[in-house]
Chains A and B, each alone.
Chain A
Amino acid sequence: MEGIITNFEFSLPFRAIVLIAICAWASLLSHKCISNFNDGARPVFPELMEGRMTRAEFAVVVTGMGFGWVLAGFSQWLGTGLIACHLTLIATDCLGAWSPNKWVALIIGGAYGALCAFGTSFINSAFTALPYNFLNDLTQISSPALPVFCMFPAVAIASQFGAKKGITTGLIEAIVYIFCTVVGAVNFGSISVSLYPYTFAMLAGMICLLVYSINGSKNAESVENDSETENLFTKNANRIKSNWVYLCIQGALNALGIHVLAQAYQPYVLSSAVLAGNMGTFELAMIGVIIAFIPLIVSTALATGVYQAVGLTTVMLVGCLAPTWWLAPVFGFVAEFVEIQLLGLLGKGLSKFPELSKCGDYIRDAMVSCIGLALVAGSFLAANATWGAVGLMIVGGFFVLNDVTGQRIPKSAVGPLAAVAVGILYNIMIFLGLVLL
C-alpha cells in the first residue's frame, strides 16, 4: 500500500491543463483579495484592502508566510508523487499578491501551474537516469502515514478528554483493525464488502470522538456576541457571498483537480488510499479534516472577508465522490455554493459556543502530530533503504541541526528533504567510485 504514484489514470497533458486552470484562477482570486490558501496570511489581506499597506509591503508579508509551506509542499510531492495544494496554492497566493494587475496574476499563476505539472514529471524521469534510482526507497516515506494517521481520534480525545479515554479509544481502534484483517470481507447476499482495516479503525475512533464530544458539550457555556462582532461578521460574510461566482469556479476546479489527481489534498492519506484502491479511507479522513478545519477557516474568513481557496475543503470530498470526471466540477461548484451560504450561520454558532471551536483545534493538532510523526519515521525508513546506517545518520543530523538553527526548514518537510539528500549523496558517491553497487 505504500508507494509513490507514477501511473495516473488521466494523461499528463490533461492533468496539466487542469492544474494550470486551478493555479491561474487561484492567483487571480488572491490578487483580487477574494480568497487565499494560507490561513496564516489571510489576516494580512484587509491591510491591503483597506489601504494600510502598499501592494509591495503586502506581498512581502504574504511571501514570508508562504515560503516554508511551498517547501513542505515540494516534500509532499517527493513522498507521494502527488502535487499537493501546498505546492500550488501557497505559491499562487504569493504570485497573486505580487501581480500588479489581474492579467499578470492569471498568466503567472497559469505558468506556475505548468511548471509544477511538467517540472515534477521531468524530475521523475531524471530519477531513472541516475546510477542508483532511489525513487523506490522514497516510497517508504509515506508507508507509516496511514497507520499512524488512523490514530488521530485517539490523540484528539486524549488531549481533550484525558489520557484514559484516549487510550481506550486507541485500544478500540486496534481491536477493530485486527477484527477487520481477520474477517476480511462481509457478504450481504451476493455483494461482498471488503473491510479495509484502516477505514474501519478510523471510523471506530471517530465515533468515539463524536460520543465524547456530545457528552462533553452538555455543559458548554454559550457566549453572546457584542454588536461590534456581529456587524463585522455580517459585513464580511456578505463580501464573501458577493464573490460567489469566482469562488464557485475555484471550487469546481479544485474538485476536478482532486478527481483526476492533478492536485492533491492531504497527499499522504490520499496516496495511501489511491494505491490501496480504497478511496473510502480518504473520504472518511476528509470528513474528519472538514470538521477539524471548519473553526479555523470560518473564523479567519469572517474576520477578514477573504475566503479559503479550497473552501471548507468539502470540495475535495465531493470531488472524490463524483462518479465521473465531468461530474466532479459540478459537485464542487454546488458544494462551494452551499458552504458560502452557510458561512454566516457557522460563524455565529462557533462564536456562541467557543468550546466547539476548541474541539476543531484538538482534532487539527492531533492530525498534524500524527502525520508529522509518521513522516519522521518514514524518512528514516527511506534513508535506511537507500544507504543503511549512513542514511540514518544524515537524516538524524538534518533533524537535530534544523531544530537548533531555528527550524529554517519546516518540521514536516525536513525528513523527506533529508531522505532525498541521502539519495543524491549516495549517487555522488557511486559516481566517484567510493561506493560500489
Chain B
Amino acid sequence: MLKIECCGLTALQTKQIIEKKFPGLVEASLDPDMIAARKVKSGDVDFYLGSCMTGGGGSLATAIMVLGYGNCLTVSKQGNCPNEKQIRHLIYSGNHKAFGYVKTHTEQVVPALVQALIDKSEGKPE
C-alpha cells in the first residue's frame, strides 16, 4: 500500500479525492508540510503532494528544502494544467518524490497523478 502525504492549500480535498478513488490502495495523511517532507525523506512515507496558487512555491518549498530540488516536480502551473496522459508521462519519465500543483487543478491532477504512482510502483508499463 502506498503512503502519501497531502499538504498545501487543498490538502483536505486531496485526501478526500484519494480516499474516494483509491480505497484500500493508498494511505493518505495530513501532516504539516515540515513533518510530511521529513517522513518522505526517512522513507516512512512514499510521496508528498502539495498544492498552492502557483504549483511550485508554497506547495513545494518545504519539500525542496528537505528533499532537494531534483526530487520535486511541478505538475501543473497557472495557465497550464496537463491532461491525464501528460501527467502519466511526467511520472514515468522521472523519479520524483514530491509533486506540486495549482489548487484549482486539484480535481484534475490528483486522480491521474495517484493512479500513475500506483501503477508505476506495481511495475505496470506507461
**Contacting pair A354 B65 (CB below 8 A):** no
**Contacting pair A410 B58 (CB below 8 A):** no
> Given A39-B57, A303-B65, A407-B105, A361 and B34 touching (CB < 8 A)?
no
**Contacting pair B34 A357 (CB below 8 A):** yes
Shortest A291–chain B CB gap in Å is 15
Count how many chain B residues have C-beta atoms less than 8 Å from C-beta atoms of the other chain: 38
Interface of B is mostly: mixed
Residues of B within 8 A of A39 (CB): 52-54, 57-58, 61
> Given A296-B52, A354-B33, A68 and B78 touching (CB < 8 A)?
yes
The CA of A232 and the CA of B52, in the complex, are separated in Å by: 23
A408 within 8 A of B: yes
B90 within 8 A of A: no
**Contacting pair A40 B74 (CB below 8 A):** yes
**Contacting pair B77 A302 (CB below 8 A):** no
Shortest A90–chain B CB gap in Å is 10
The CA of A200 and the CA of B58, in the complex, are separated in Å by: 30
- Look across to chain A and name the residue whose beta carbon is closest to the beta carbon of B54: A40
> Given A351-B34, A361-B8, A42 and B104 touching (CB < 8 A)?
no
Of the candidate stretches B19-27, B80-88, B115-123, the one touching chain A is B80-88
A41 within 8 A of B: yes
B108 within 8 A of A: yes
Residues of A within 8 A of B80 (CB): 64, 68, 406, 408
> Given A64-B77, A229-B65, A43 and B60 touching (CB < 8 A)?
yes
A269 within 8 A of B: no
The CA of A351 and the CA of B11, in the complex, are separated in Å by: 18
Residues of A within 8 A of B104 (CB): 372, 407, 410-411
- Look across to chain A and name the residue whose beta carbon is closest to the beta carbon of B32: A354
Partner of A69, one of B9, B34, B78: B78
Partner of B35, one of A52, A300, A354: A354
The CA of A40 and the CA of B66, in the complex, are separated in Å by: 17
Residues of B within 8 A of A72 (CB): 78
The CA of A354 and the CA of B55, in the complex, are separated in Å by: 20
Partner of A406, one of B33, B83, B103: B83
**Contacting pair B56 A41 (CB below 8 A):** yes
7 contacts between A and B (CB under 8 A): A38-B57, A40-B58, A299-B33, A357-B34, A365-B9, A407-B79, A408-B80
* B contacts, CB < 8 Å to A: 8-12, 31-35, 52-58, 60-62, 64-66, 69, 72, 74, 77-83, 102-105, 108
Top 10 nearest A-B pairs (CB, nearest first) are A40-B54, A68-B79, A68-B78, A39-B57, A354-B32, A303-B65, A40-B57, A40-B56, A300-B61, A365-B9
* A contacts, CB < 8 Å to B: 38-44, 46-47, 52, 64-65, 67-69, 71-72, 159, 223, 229, 232, 296, 299-300, 302-304, 350-351, 354-355, 357-358, 361, 364-365, 368, 372, 406-411
